[in-house]
Amino acid sequence: MKQVDIAGKNYVLTDLDEMSKRQAWVEARISFEFFLLEYKGMNLLVLEAKDGIHYSPRNLRLIAQRIYSIYQMPAVFLLSNLSNTERNRLIDQDVYFIVSGKYFFLPNLLINSRDTKIIQGDLLTPAAQWVILSYLQGIISNNQTADEIAAISPYKYTYITLAMRLLESHKLCSIEIDSKRCKHLVFDEDKAALFERAKPCMLHPIRERIYCDDIVNYSLYKFSGITALAHYTALNPEEMQTIAISASEWRGLDKASFIGLNPYEGKFCVEIWKYEPVGSNNKFVDKLSLALSLQDDIDPRVNKEVEQLIENIW
């Protein structure tokens, strides 16, 4: 009988029966041991890689998606150990995991079992960054509930509550619970000051840049990069146009609509973003995300316009 320690409490892992296991594809059956776990009313399918088998966070995410489509249960990976960097990469990919006796990331919370406090990583998760940038730019209001935020966000309720906990652990907000047990996100600080305090733990929005010669219906996407900066400021636009697409949307797109896709050059630059740009009614990415995406630009003209862009927000 196999057990795992989650926040100081032992949970029994039950072997998945052979008939159920045969529903999975062959590679999965060869690579993983399958277990069932009931945790706080949730049924989870726990996968433990066999000795010597290793998958990247991206591949684990793809495996988890396929597992859910088969079993209609979240997949959780049982791991022996993780570095902080590996842990953050798994969280960034929305991969659930357990490191017995240490910490775990599950559909409803992220806990370091050594002190039962939420893990405070070096960086925010994509959902947490979306939440704080939405507040700073007036998309969500102060004192809104997790349900209200989830209703207008690209993230499910569980990710919003996790984001709220993470923001609170960074001392960027507080969480208040009302008489109906609803969680409210509360900010007490001036927005300009809050942005400056939050910047060190904010993600760089861009995961990667790729290029192409043409895009079918490119107007469906938000403009970003210098294209967006030229729209918001007095900077002259470049001939190459830049668009932003969230990583989750990019995975589902037909790449044939991006003509001449390559990693080097083209008439269009396609930025794959770690989170959905804030706001849905604008043809351009939100100003604060744009500023974060250009923070490493070495052109002094760009830096000057970015500074002015931020100042004009407040």
pLDDT score recorded for residue 117: 43
* Residues 148-176 pLDDT 10s: 999 999 888 888 988 998 999 889 999 99
Give the Cα separation of 280 and 12 in Å (integer).
44
Contact of 34 with 24, CB cutoff 8 Å: yes
Percent above pLDDT 70 for the chain: 94
- Which among 153, 182, 201 is the end of a domain? 201
- Which among 84, 112, 140 is the end of a domain? 112
pLDDT score recorded for residue 39: 82
Residues 108 and 8 in one domain: yes
Kindly report the length of the chain. 314
pTM: 0.62
Q: Is residue 36 part of a domain?
A: yes
pLDDT tops 50 at residue 113: no
Distance of CA 113 to the CA centre of its chain: 22
Residues 42 and 81 in one domain: yes
* Parallel, antiparallel or unpaired: strands 268-273 and 241-246: parallel
Q: Is residue 118 part of a domain?
A: no
Residue with the bigger pLDDT between 211 and 102: it is: 211
Q: Which domain holds residue 165?
A: 126-201
* Residues 83-109 pLDDT 10s: 878 888 888 787 899 999 888 888 654
H or E stretch including 269? strand 268-273
pLDDT score recorded for residue 162: 87
Contact of 167 with 251, CB cutoff 8 Å: no
Residues 136 and 187 in one domain: yes
Instruction: Please give the average per-residue pLDDT across 182-193, as a whole number.
Output: 90
pLDDT score recorded for residue 108: 54
* Parallel, antiparallel or unpaired: strands 183-186 and 174-177: antiparallel
* Parallel, antiparallel or unpaired: strands 241-246 and 214-215: unpaired
Instruction: Please give the average per-residue pLDDT across 51-69, as a whole number.
Output: 90
* Residues 238-274 pLDDT 10s: 999 999 999 888 888 888 999 999 988 999 999 999 9
H or E stretch including 6? strand 2-6
Q: Is residue 85 part of a domain?
A: yes
Residues 67 and 140 in one domain: no
CATH code for the domain in which residue 154 is found: 1.10.10.10
Residues 108 and 6 in one domain: yes
pLDDT level of residue 29 (50, 70, 90 thresholds): very high
Residues 169 and 216 in one domain: no
Nearest to 306 by CA among 279, 295, 298: 295
Q: Is residue 310 part of a domain?
A: no
Q: Is residue 120 part of a domain?
A: no
pLDDT score recorded for residue 122: 65
Mean pLDDT of the chain: 88
Residues 14 and 40 in one domain: yes
pLDDT level of residue 280 (50, 70, 90 thresholds): low
Q: In total, how many domains does the chain have?
A: 3
- Which among 201, 229, 253 is the end of a domain? 201
Instruction: Please give the average per-residue pLDDT across 225-234, as a whole number.
Output: 95
pLDDT tops 80 at residue 295: yes
Q: Is residue 88 part of a domain?
A: yes
Residues 99 and 66 in one domain: yes
pLDDT score recorded for residue 281: 66
